[in-house]
Amino acid sequence: MTEVASAAKKPTHPQPTTDDLFVVDPSIRERRKTTVVVVVSRVLIVVATLTGWQLASGRLISEFWVSSPSAIASALSSFWTGGELGPAIQVTLIETALGFVVGAVTGILVGLIFGVSPIVARVLDPFLVGLNSIPRVALIPLFILWFGIGLETKVLFAATLVFFPVFMSTFAGARDVDRDLIDVIRVMGASRMATVRKVLVPSALVWVFAGLRMSIPFALIGAVIAEMFTADDGLGYLISISANQYDTAGAFAAIFVTTILGLLLTYAISFLETRTLRWRTAG
């Protein structure tokens, strides 16, 4: 009974609070403080830019040339209520996604082949350098001639912009793999395909995602540029038709939506990278 009584008298320790955690690890408080500073700074930059733009438009620079944030907001509202903006975003996103997938998959595969086989890389390197030197816009008339003005032209043009950043990043990642590790696993009896799957691909993933982050805006740019030449829908078409009608606010409104889409797509790739490479963070 005495032991039970003494155990009951022992003080219970309260659960650690957030403040206690900060005492243990002050870096958490510092990271949160830095995040707040970054977010507030970004908001202030946007507010200051829009305010200065609104004040300068019509006073320092003619609104015909630069429009104004209020006119752009009005044009966005007009596009939305008129039923033009939603379908345009949908069309552009479909073309961007398809072009990104085609260009990224092709770039990853070719980059891995170059990384696995130095002979293939030496033979084909000048040809890829030559193809990369071609101005992409010059391909649009050829694509129209070959594939018409349908979805194929927009997807393939976007894919040409995506392919080379992904290929170069993948190739660099494949060459950066520890060759001693590859030799060890080959000595242990692993086949070439097993080596690629178990060693080469995981080691190159960081480089691959760097290329994907870099190229996702290119896919959007490619889709929009192709729409300006070949389409009667999409954000590129809205930009083109607004510019042809000297509607500066409408053109800026479509460009603004395109910019927001580019940011969202880039953040989506970054989120996918964080989820996929969780093992690297844990290690």
pLDDT digit string, tens, across residues 165-177:
999 999 888 887 7
| Contact assessment for residue 63 and residue 71, using Cβ atoms and an 8 Å cutoff | yes
User: How many Cβ atoms are within 10 Å of 49's Cβ, its own excluded?
Assistant: 11
Q: Is the confidence at residue 190, as pLDDT, over 80?
A: no
Split at pLDDT 50, 70, 90, the class of 1 is very low
Rounded to the nearest angstrom, the gap between the alpha carbon of residue 146 and the centroid of all alpha carbons in its chain is: 29
pLDDT digit string, tens, across residues 233-250:
899 999 999 999 999 999
pLDDT of residue 24: 46
pLDDT of residue 283: 44
Beta pairing partners, 19? none
pLDDT digit string, tens, across residues 201-229:
777 788 889 999 999 999 999 999 999 98
Give the residue-averaged pLDDT of 131-140.
88
User: What is the Cα–Cα distance from 36 to 237, expressed in whole angstroms?
Assistant: 39
3-state SS track over the chain = CHHHHHHHHCCCCCCCCHHHHHHHCHHHHHHHHHHHHHHHHHHHHHHHHHHHHHHHECCCECHHHHCCHHHHHHHHHHHHHCCCHHHHHHHHHHHHHHHHHHHHHHHHHHHHHHHHCHHHHHHHHHHHHHHHCCCHHHHHHHHHHHHCCCHHHHHHHHHHHHHHHHHHHHHHHHHCCCHHHHHHHHHCCCCHHHHHHHHHHHHHHHHHHHHHHHHHHHHHHHHHHHHHHHCCCCHHHHHHHHHHCCCHHHHHHHHHHHHHHHHHHHHHHHHHHHHHCHHHHHC
Split at pLDDT 50, 70, 90, the class of 14 is low
Split at pLDDT 50, 70, 90, the class of 264 is very high
| Contact assessment for residue 100 and residue 216, using Cβ atoms and an 8 Å cutoff | yes
Which region among 35-39, 68-72, 114-118, 175-179 has the lowest average model confidence (pLDDT)? 175-179
- Percent of the chain topping pLDDT 70: 84
Phi-psi region of 184 (alpha: psi -120 to 50; beta: other; left: phi over 0): alpha
Q: Is the confidence at residue 109, as pLDDT, over 70?
A: yes
User: How many Cβ atoms are within 10 Å of 146's Cβ, its own excluded?
Assistant: 11
Q: Is the confidence at residue 262, as pLDDT, over 90?
A: yes
pLDDT of residue 26: 67
Higher-confidence position of 16 and 246 = 246
Give the residue-averaged pLDDT of 89-112.
94
Instruction: Specify the residue for token string 């990043």.
Output: 169
Instruction: Specify the residue for token string 């006119």.
Output: 71
User: What is the Cα–Cα distance from 69 to 189, expressed in whole angstroms?
Assistant: 65
Split at pLDDT 50, 70, 90, the class of 16 is low
Report the predicted TM-score, pTM, of the whole model to 2 decimal places. 0.81
Q: Is the confidence at residue 25, as pLDDT, over 60?
A: no
Give the residue-averaged pLDDT of 11-40.
68
| Contact assessment for residue 111 and residue 171, using Cβ atoms and an 8 Å cutoff | yes
pLDDT of residue 17: 53
Give the residue-averaged pLDDT of 71-87.
92
Q: Is the confidence at residue 21, as pLDDT, over 50?
A: no
